[in-house]
Structure 1
Amino acid sequence: MTMQIAGRIVTPDGVVEDGHVTIDGALISSVGAGSPDGAERAAWVLPGFVDIHNHGGGGHTFTTGDPDSARAAAAFHLRHGTTTVLASLVSSPFALMRDATAAFLPLVREGVLGGVHYEGPYLSGARCGAQNPDFLRAPDTDELAALIALGEGAVRMMTIAPELPGALDAIKLLASHGVAAAVGHTDAPYDVTRAAAEAGATVATHLFNGMRPVHHREPGPVLALLDSPGVICEVVADGVHLHDGTLSFVAGAARGGYALVTDAMAAAGMPDGAYELGGLSVVVADRVARLAANGSIAGSTLTMDAALRQAVGAGIPVVDASRATSWTPARAVGLSGILGAITPGLRADLVLLSEDLQVTGVVRAGVFQ
């Protein structure tokens, strides 16, 4: 089946004004100028959003390993333009990580999920944020190798604090299997963070958040990650995790590029109230999720379309913000040869937007959702 969608088409090279995308089956076949008769129209046509850090939404969670809940959470974010989402676990016992990986593997094969992200449990107790401290532990390469083997390619990323004993060996193991090693929830000094990048770490988990802050005599992880050309920096663009000025700074300073992520939890799209994350009680008020025990930020209620609008509102051009919601995160987790851009031969994942960047339609693998 062939169809065409017309509007301002955002490609890796810029914007095709009054252009169109031709879709043949599940793939993009061409991008050209003009608006053919019968084409579906939108003000903006962007690549489908790729969210590489997401714990749930719409009242559903990825963190328990329940496949029905995962399917529902992915469907919620799909309605907001996220055509590829990683199911992010939080720090958990090995048994839960193992069972969740096995449960999510069929969803990855089906295309409901883009893969699995382990945010922990190899994290710093001093910078654990909303991670359950009862489940934190030192890196175990045997445990990690077993999870990677079980995932059969579904494990796409793992967040690690590089100062922990054995962390650099774990990062090297991840890199050797094509799994993105992300630096996060860390109290590491500058030189240890640079060593992690040299060992193969390629992502910074929600930069600034869950990290030792910058100091002029000990720059810490933030500046080391920003200055590493091989590291893509995640940023949570919700106006809560980062000031818009910080977001704009990262957009200009990250040598390896930056990716917008949601870090969403089950409360995304839901009313304020009481929720749970990794066994910890969370209270959401005025869209902000915090641990009931100490007020630490506990994920977000963000969706990727809202993140795009926040970035544009912070002064980032639409083309650059689009790259940060699609191509760059796809590249971060090894999917850029399959999806993440409006380019012939890639999967036809598109989000249609109004002039004010509200979602008006979503296409995944050539099918309107």
Structure 2
Amino acid sequence: MLLGRILTPHGFLRGRLHFSERVEAIEEAPVDGPYILPGFLDLHVHGGGGREVMEGQEGVEATVRFHLRHGTTGLLATTVTAPLDQLERALQGIRRAMEGPWGKALLGVHLEGPFLSPHRLGAQPPFPLPPDPEVAERLLSLAPVRVVTLAPELPGALELIRFLAERGVRVQLGHTEAGYEEARAALETGAVGFTHLFNAMTGLHHRAPGVVGLALERGAWAEIIPDGLHVHPAAIRLALKAIPGLYPVSDAVAAAGMPDGVYPLGAHRVEKRREGVWLGESLAGSTLTLDQALRNLVAWGVPLEEAARRLSLYPARYLGLSDRGEIAPGKRADLVALDEALRVVEVYLEGERVA
């Protein structure tokens, strides 16, 4: 049982939360205690605590344990562009991790590539491939792929979007030089989201709206990195007004939670300097954790209740997960308790305290 200010589907309520593996009851009572929120869901995370998912099973499990300490009770293990044999090994490692003791915190895979624009790789290693349904089918056979990021202007991209959408994969536009019309064609074909909005895509110009303009005009879902480096807070506030399903992601890499120094990002070696991670002068993922994302959003004017829902309920709905993302009877008891400063006090995964 937990006592405190519980975020229910109807708002905050002071009371007692009864749970085992699932939430059993919420009892209103005049009690004091921490904020009790649904566990955070991170749909774009490469690593943390010095490890990354491209290492295989051990790297995936270490990444999960690191982010659990920061309130993330479910994540998509996110790959980077790599030679096919390395991608295949990484996916096999993710599948094994999902079958292991930490699998209940793994939601599946986010393939960030390899079908990216060679001109918008950013910090992605230089191994992009042209869209190819046969390659995609091979990758999908190795692990539960839930999200694929691709560049819609590439030859064959629309065919691949149809192929993926028919298999229930959520296609996101990212690492792309597409113009507005090319990106709109991708949405009309079955793409549904935008990867790290504003970053590694064509920006908004009043005569050439680009991918950003399309997202702001008609996007239903998009992820965004609220670390204060990737996107200005004013641009985040704009996106919150325009995109109903905007949800934060960490885009965390191995350097998250580590001292300044050099860390892996697939085939690259990137440098953590203070709060940023850099490949030369380009940002290379982030050191963000979702508890810090919550604090940032609240500091930038987002109400706590809304910020918490965007970190839990919104990504759950995006992936079609009905058993988590909110605190209500019958839902998984994936919970995070925060103090007055919104610092993590306790974390529960299926009712078991893990941090």
- TM-score surpassing 0.5? yes
Q: Which amino acid aligns with 2:26?
A: V
Match of 2:333 in 1: 348
Q: How far apart are the structure 1 equivalents of 2:141 and 2:63?
A: 25
Kept in 2, the 8 Å contact 1:20–1:35? The answer is no
Q: How far apart are the structure 2 equivalents of 1:78 and 1:296?
A: 28
Match of 1:91 in 2: 81
Match of 1:171 in 2: 161
Q: How far apart are the structure 2 equivalents of 1:123 and 1:341?
A: 34
Match of 2:243 in 1: 254
Q: How far apart are the structure 2 equivalents of 1:11 and 1:223?
A: 34
Match of 1:122 in 2: 115
Q: How far apart are the structure 2 equivalents of 1:307 and 1:281?
A: 25
Kindly state the Cα deviation for residue 106 of structure 1 after the two structures are TM-superposed. Answer: 2.8
- Is residue 67 from structure 1 mapped to residue 54 from structure 2 by the alignment? no
- Is residue 144 from structure 1 mapped to residue 120 from structure 2 by the alignment? no
**In the TM superposition, what whole-angstrom CA distance separates every residue of 1:334-358 from its partner, at most 9, and x where no partner exists?**
32x1211112221110100001100
Match of 2:16 in 1: 20
Match of 1:311 in 2: 297
Kindly state the Cα deviation for residue 233 of structure 1 after the two structures are TM-superposed. Answer: 1.1
Q: Which amino acid aligns with 1:149?
A: S
Kindly state the Cα deviation for residue 198 of structure 1 after the two structures are TM-superposed. Answer: 1.6
Q: Which amino acid aligns with 2:38?
A: P
Q: How far apart are the structure 2 equivalents of 1:366 and 1:227?
A: 41
Kept in 2, the 8 Å contact 1:12–1:323? The answer is no
Q: How far apart are the structure 2 equivalents of 1:42 and 1:363?
A: 16
Match of 1:241 in 2: 230
Match of 1:52 in 2: 43
- 1:35–1:101 distance in 2 versus 1, CA, 3 Å: farther
> What SS is found at the alignment partner of 1:121?
coil
Q: How far apart are the structure 1 equivalents of 2:12 and 2:216?
A: 27
Q: How far apart are the structure 2 equivalents of 1:176 and 1:204?
A: 19
Q: Which amino acid aligns with 2:47?
A: G
Structure 1 gap ranges (5+): none
> What SS is found at the alignment partner of 1:26?
coil
**In the TM superposition, what whole-angstrom CA distance separates every residue of 1:211-246 from its partner, at most 9, and x where no partner exists?**
1111110100012123335x3111101000011111
Higher mean C-alpha displacement, 190-199 vs 309-318: 190-199
Match of 2:258 in 1: 270
- 1:138–1:320 distance in 2 versus 1, CA, 3 Å: same
Match of 1:359 in 2: 344
**Aligned ranges 1:299-338 → 2 under 5 Å:** 299-335=285-321, 337-338=322-323
Match of 1:113 in 2: 106
What's the RMSD between the two structures over aligned residues?
Answer: 1.5
- 1:312–1:28 distance in 2 versus 1, CA, 3 Å: same
Q: Which amino acid aligns with 2:190?
A: G
> What SS is found at the alignment partner of 1:163?
coil
- Is residue 34 from structure 1 mapped to residue 29 from structure 2 by the alignment? yes
**Aligned ranges 1:134-213 → 2 under 5 Å:** 135-151=127-143, 154-213=144-203
- 1:331–1:267 distance in 2 versus 1, CA, 3 Å: same
Q: How far apart are the structure 2 equivalents of 1:166 and 1:172?
A: 10
Q: How far apart are the structure 2 equivalents of 1:203 and 1:13?
A: 27
Kindly state the Cα deviation for residue 45 of structure 1 after the two structures are TM-superposed. Answer: 0.6
Out of 9, 13, 16, the residue aligned to residue 6 of structure 2 is 9
Match of 1:232 in 2: 221
Kindly state the Cα deviation for residue 115 of structure 1 after the two structures are TM-superposed. Answer: 0.9
> What SS is found at the alignment partner of 1:227?
helix
Kept in 1, the 8 Å contact 2:53–2:94? The answer is no
Match of 2:211 in 1: 221
Kept in 2, the 8 Å contact 1:42–1:352? The answer is no
- 1:94–1:314 distance in 2 versus 1, CA, 3 Å: same
Kindly state the Cα deviation for residue 35 of structure 1 after the two structures are TM-superposed. Answer: 5.6
> Between the two proteins, what is the percent identity of the paired residues?
43
Kept in 1, the 8 Å contact 2:82–2:267? The answer is no
**In the TM superposition, what whole-angstrom CA distance separates every residue of 1:79-110 from its partner, at most 9, and x where no partner exists?**
00000011100011221222222221132243
Kept in 1, the 8 Å contact 2:60–2:77? The answer is yes
> What SS is found at the alignment partner of 1:221?
helix
Q: How far apart are the structure 1 equivalents of 2:86 and 2:239?
A: 35
